[in-house]
Structures are given as structure tokens and as C-alpha cells.
Amino acid sequence: MNFAVLQFPASNCDQDAIHAIRLLGHSARYVWHKENSLGDADAVIVPGGFSYGDYLRCGAIARFSPVMQAVKQFADNGGLVLGVCNGFQVLTEAGLLPGALVRNRDLQFHCEHIFLKTVTPDSPFSNKIPAGKILRVPIAHGEGCYFADEETLAKLKAGNQILWQYCDVDGNLTDKSNPNGSLQNIAGICNERRNVAGLMPHPERACELALGSDDGKWIFESLFAALKNRTVTVAA
């Protein structure tokens, strides 16, 4: 499979994403933010970092970049798009995912490993995660507190769109295991159509044991499996 990994000024997890995808046996290449096209891509990763210096709001400037218009088209055509950390913020700002990410409740930047519970295997981003498996992956953000109004939150739940929640080592959704104050411990969601997802934790930084955990690979393996099962080619 061929992944397009976006590069904005001050993206800093783009190389990690490329490394992880290649390590797992697939191909990946950078797509610069000024590009109008994604070229030949089976899926898109919007990586972490501090695109455009986080000016105005995280992701607010990136969403207007030329490449994001191509990503929007790609997503509208049903293409798979995964946003990680700042990528999640960009996707919410772009309106491709509901809600918003605001300042962590304790105003601290959190850089640590956390535990994630997968809410549903019913998505291209979670279908290969073993049932009941608690993922241990790192986070590194200052503005990862997920917020949505009550109506949006109810719709997310009804549509089974919450994909990951912060939990403790045993899978309990406790307040203590919630690193940033996200509503309902939400760490990652998908859109209604289930082809666009975003999460604050970094699966690409947890794909090999040398990095302390390889649990992140299950998210990528899910993507690979979903792409393999697809018969329709998507172009943008």
C-alpha cells in the first residue's frame, strides 16, 4: 500500500509516520503542503507537530493549505485519512471530523505513555486490534482535550464513532487515566462515514519494541487490512 504523509511547516512526526509504515512493509512518501494533488495514494496520514507554529489555533492555518483541499476531495471520495495529534487538530479545524481540541485541563504539555481502550473494531482504523487489547502508546501534546457540544457527543456515541478512550492499565475509564480532560476520555474518533479518523496519541511512535511499545502497529495493521479489502480505487 502507498501512503501519502503530509508535510506542513513545523510538522515533526512526518518522518516517524514514514518510518513506521515502511517498517511495517508498506510504502510511504511525503506530500508538501503546497501541493494541489496527493498523487497516487491509497491512504493519507496527517502527521503530528506544530503546523504553522500553532498560530491562531492548532491546525487553523493548515486547513487552508492547498494540500488540504486535495485531502478533503480524497476524503469526500471515500479515501482513508488518519490524523495524528496535530493532524487530528487539523482535521477538526477542516470540518472533516466533529468537535475540537482545546488546552489540556492542567495547562501542562503531556509527554508520556498512556493506555488506550478501543471502543469498536468496526472501522478501517481499528479492525485488526485484538479484542480486549489495551494499547500502550505515547502522547505529546498541550492541546488535546477533546470537546464537542452535547448534541455532537450524542451523535458520536449513537454512530459508534468514538474509536479510542484513555483508560488505566486494566481498561477502566477513570478520570486519573485521562491525561488532558477530554470529554468522556475520548482519545480518537472517526467521521460518520468511517473513512476519516483522528487521535491524539501517536501510534507511529509505538511500532517497534525498541521504542518501548509496538502496540501502535495494530492501528496501521487495521489500515493495511482495510485497504486490502477495498476494491474501489480512490483518486484525488
Partner 1 sequence: MKAKIIITPKKAVVDPQGKTVQVALEQMGHQGIKAVHVGKYLEIELDGTDREAARKKLDEAAHRFLSNPVIEDYKLEIE
Provide the annotated active-site residues. 85, 202, 204
Distance CA 172, CA 92 (A): 27
Output the smallest distance, CB 109 to partner 1, in A. Answer: 13
HEC sequence for the chain: CEEEEEECCCECCHHHHHHHHHHCCCEEEEEECCCCCCCCCCEEEECCECHHHHCCCCCCCHHHCHHHHHHHHHHHCCCEEEEECHHHHHHHHCCCCCCEEECCCCCCCEEEEEEEEECCCCCCCCCCCCCCCEEEEEEEECCCEEECCHHHHHHHHHCCCEEEEEECCCCCCCCCCCCCCCHHHEEEEECCCCCEEEECCCHHHCCEHHHCECCCHHHHHHHHHHHHCCCCCCCC
Select 103 or 230, whichever has its Cβ closest to partner 1.
103
Do residues 49 and 22 lie in contact, with contact meaning Cβ atoms separated by under 8 Å? no
Select 56 or 235, whichever has its Cβ closest to partner 1.
56
Output the smallest distance, CB 103 to partner 1, in A. Answer: 6
- Reading the block at residue 19, the C-alpha cell is 518510518
Output the smallest distance, CB 194 to partner 1, in A. Answer: 21
Select 104 or 213, whichever has its Cβ closest to partner 1.
104
Select 30 or 147, whichever has its Cβ closest to partner 1.
147
Do residues 134 and 173 lie in contact, with contact meaning Cβ atoms separated by under 8 Å? no
Q: Looking up cell 474501489, which residue turns up? A: 232
Select 102 or 134, whichever has its Cβ closest to partner 1.
102
Residues that bind partner 1 (CB under 8 A): 56-57, 60, 64, 92-93, 99-100, 102-107, 145, 147-149, 181
Q: What is the largest CA-CA distance in the chain?
A: 46
